[in-house]
Chains A and B, each alone.
Chain A
Amino acid sequence: MATTPFPSAITATGLSKSFGDHVVLDGIDLDVPRATVFALLGPNGSGKTTTVRILSTLIRADGGQATVAGHDLDREAAAVRGAIGVTGQFSAVDGLLTGEENLQLMADLQHLGRAEGRRRTADLLERFDLLDAAKKTAATYSGGMRRRLDLAMTLVGDPSVIFLDEPTTGLDPRSRRTMWQIIRRLVAGGVTVFLTTQYLEEADALADRIAVIDHGKVVATGTADELKRQIPGGHIRVRFADAAGLDAAARVFDGSSRDDEALTLRVPGDGGVRSMRALLDRLDAVEAEVADLSVHTPDLDDVFFALTGTPTGTPTGSPTGTPAGNPKANPTGARAGADTTEPTTEKETAR
């Protein structure tokens, strides 16, 4: 992915944004090649939505530069707007209009002309499986239908860059699959998609490149595989019957991380027979009573955990715990070394 014959659809250097004292974006660099899917992955409050709002001209960055579809964000905002489509986190459909009228409204605002507007409306209704609901007001739509209509409205203007802010949040699994198919088809048609998600699975399934964002900083970028490679192995998750067992075990396993509420310990390891036997022997030696045990092969969740010191979505539950990230994990990420926040670096090297 490093070399591409196409110029970039989105570039950003040093984007920053604060609301009052609260720093939301702390110098973001991005480079999204044309006709690819780029995923900005991070927990709630990490700055994903703010990034989308800046890149889609809704709000201005405090610092940094960005171009979208070849246009400067600050100086050519109108040209940017002409080239993009945005589907926000909360569906931006007119609930009082029918699906068809919503699309027609977009066509009118894009100055498509009557015939072309009607043609495109009919085409999108069919493509997004909304023909049956075309004459019903959008307020009566299900969550999945609203989301589909929302995206269809975004496509009326034939944008070359599409921003999707958490496109599947709140959707049932089936609607999520449908949305994924739609996104894949868009990219096949040459559109660039910039999506944000807190689902690792989603970034893994859709994105050509992923940037992991945490506390307003990009802590790693790469393909899903590149990111996964930053974790040398998986981990074994041991749940104990009581806190005493957890305490005893935590003392003997170096590099493990504990969760006091769940009474679990994450022990780095590949889950092979030999390492499992060693683990069980050591648990026996300290007489810790194990309630259950599971082997985890590395996934993006582990990457996230290793990079940020917190699991996705939730802050760390154990103040005394150390992150599971292997000391070797961090330096392999090209950007992670420079961008990782100080506390994380400290934790990574503390042991």
Chain B
Amino acid sequence: MSALTHAVTDSTTMLRRSLRHTLRYPASMVTSLLVPVLLLLLFVGVFGGAINAGMTNSGDYINYIVPGILLVTVGYGSSTTALAVNKDMTEGIIDRFRTMAITRGSVLSGHVLAATIRTMASLTLVVGVALLMGFRPTTDPVRWVAAIGVVLLLVLALTWLAVAIGLASPTAEGTTGFLLLVQMLPFISSAFVAPETMSGSVRWFAHNQPFTPIIDTLRGLLMDTPVGDRGLVAVAWSAGLALLGYLWARTAFNRPPRP
């Protein structure tokens, strides 16, 4: 077998391993699914009426909030990945993989593939719940494909970052900072309310942080409104973060193990 077929076989083996973990212990996936759904219920059901009253240009609040909820779903999914990678690194099995004649990065690509499948499944379920709650997105298939593309790129970006953090943290606790970041950042973005309603420096931050252009782009694509240059900014952020995460993960993985 050539090096390439080995790489594919080994990555598939590692993917199977990661998916088996998910299916055997679905608790973390259920949590990362439950939080976005609860946020959806909370914001639409509890705050929705009040927020709706303050919004000038849009229809239903649920149509406004779903893109942000999708981002939260991706964020929670990636924190599961950070934990899984960290567990591998700290439990000794990585040393076994490293001393075997297998494609070196296959354990990481297995994690990333599994995370992508996991997160896309979660996203499908969240969109399903949103549809049941009255979410009415565009019916244009081209825009849907573009939206899925944007989400996929975001999944890759956050997953590679999560893998890097899982590799770099000496303990599982070390990854909680990442979870906190992906939990908090959506709140200071255009996910739940328009940044224009925020004050001073918070508004500046909300407008310029990476999640906002991504959410705006998704919102434009799903709700059939113009995307403008936000699309380009969103893709640039995602691609940049994905590259950063990938390079960081590669460096962390190739660093000699701790003595």
Q: What residues of chain A have their CB less than 8 Å away from a CB belonging to chain B?
A: 19, 24, 50, 53, 56-60, 78-79, 81-82, 84-86, 88, 90-97, 101, 105-106, 108-111, 137, 153-154, 157
Q: Are B96 and A86 in contact (CB under 8 A)?
A: yes
Q: Are A57 and B99 in contact (CB under 8 A)?
A: yes
Given A78-B101, A109-B13, A109-B102, also A97-B20 (CB < 8 A): yes
Q: Are A92 and B9 in contact (CB under 8 A)?
A: no
Contact residue among B93, B95, B102, B259 (Cβ-Cβ distance under 8 Å from A94): B93
In the assembled complex, B229 has its CB within 8 A of some CB on chain A: no
Chain A, Cβ-Cβ closest to B6: A111
Contact residue among A59, A82, A90, A105 (Cβ-Cβ distance under 8 Å from B101): A82
Question: How far is B100's CA from A82's CA once the two chains are assembled, in angstroms?
Answer: 6
Nearest chain A CB to B254's CB is how many angstroms away? 12
Question: How far is B225's CA from A47's CA once the two chains are assembled, in angstroms?
Answer: 65
Q: List 8 A-B contacts (CB under 8 A).
A: A57-B98, A57-B99, A58-B95, A58-B99, A78-B101, A85-B99, A94-B17, A96-B21
Contact residue among B1, B95, B101, B259 (Cβ-Cβ distance under 8 Å from A92): B95
Question: How far is B16's CA from A90's CA once the two chains are assembled, in angstroms?
Answer: 24
Question: How far is B96's CA from A86's CA once the two chains are assembled, in angstroms?
Answer: 7
Nearest 5 A-B pairs (CB), nearest first? A92-B96, A82-B101, A92-B92, A81-B101, A108-B13
B-side contacts of A60, CB under 8 Å: 256
Contact residue among B20, B21, B101, B257 (Cβ-Cβ distance under 8 Å from A58): B257
Q: Are A58 and B98 in contact (CB under 8 A)?
A: yes
A-side contacts of B10, CB under 8 Å: 109
Q: Are A137 and B24 in contact (CB under 8 A)?
A: yes
A-side contacts of B259, CB under 8 Å: 19, 24, 50, 59
Chain B, Cβ-Cβ closest to A49: B259
Q: Are A96 and B99 in contact (CB under 8 A)?
A: no
A-side contacts of B21, CB under 8 Å: 96-97
Chain B, Cβ-Cβ closest to A98: B24
Question: How far is B95's CA from A154's CA once the two chains are assembled, in angstroms?
Answer: 12
A-side contacts of B99, CB under 8 Å: 56-58, 81, 84-86
Interface centre among B1, B13, B257 (most CB of A within 10 A): B13
Given A93-B93, A97-B20, A105-B13, also A157-B100 (CB < 8 A): yes
Q: Given known contacts A60-B256, A79-B101, A108-B13, what 12 new A-B pairs fall within 8 Å (CB)?
A: A57-B99, A58-B256, A59-B257, A82-B101, A86-B99, A88-B92, A92-B92, A94-B93, A95-B91, A96-B24, A109-B97, A154-B96
Interface centre among A50, A92, A95, A153 (most CB of B within 10 A): A92
Given A50-B259, A58-B95, A58-B257, also A81-B6 (CB < 8 A): no
Nearest chain B CB to A199's CB is how many angstroms away? 21
Q: What residues of chain B have their CB less than 8 Å away from a CB belonging to chain A?
A: 1, 6, 9-10, 13, 16-17, 20-21, 24-25, 91-93, 95-102, 256-257, 259
Q: Are B25 and A96 in contact (CB under 8 A)?
A: yes
Question: How far is B9's CA from A53's CA once the two chains are assembled, in angstroms?
Answer: 27
Question: How far is B10's CA from A37's CA once the two chains are assembled, in angstroms?
Answer: 32
B-side contacts of A58, CB under 8 Å: 95, 98-99, 256-257
Chain B, Cβ-Cβ closest to A17: B259
B-side contacts of A84, CB under 8 Å: 99
Q: Are B93 and A92 in contact (CB under 8 A)?
A: yes
Q: Are A91 and B13 in contact (CB under 8 A)?
A: no
Interface centre among A24, A85, A110, A111 (most CB of B within 10 A): A111
B-side contacts of A94, CB under 8 Å: 17, 93
Nearest chain A CB to B218's CB is how many angstroms away? 34
Chain B, Cβ-Cβ closest to A84: B99
Nearest chain A CB to B8's CB is how many angstroms away? 12
Interface centre among A56, A57, A105, A110 (most CB of B within 10 A): A105
A-side contacts of B6, CB under 8 Å: 111
Nearest chain A CB to B159's CB is how many angstroms away? 19
B-side contacts of A111, CB under 8 Å: 1, 6, 9
Question: How far is B100's CA from A88's CA once the two chains are assembled, in angstroms?
Answer: 13
B-side contacts of A88, CB under 8 Å: 92, 95-96
Chain B, Cβ-Cβ closest to A105: B17
Given A19-B259, A82-B101, A92-B95, also A101-B20 (CB < 8 A): yes
Chain B, Cβ-Cβ closest to A86: B99
Q: Are B92 and A90 in contact (CB under 8 A)?
A: yes
B-side contacts of A97, CB under 8 Å: 17, 20-21, 24
Q: Are B98 and A91 in contact (CB under 8 A)?
A: no
A-side contacts of B92, CB under 8 Å: 88, 90-92
Question: How far is B186's CA from A263's CA once the two chains are assembled, in angstroms?
Answer: 68
Question: How far is B101's CA from A59's CA once the two chains are assembled, in angstroms?
Answer: 15
Interface centre among B17, B91, B101 (most CB of A within 10 A): B101
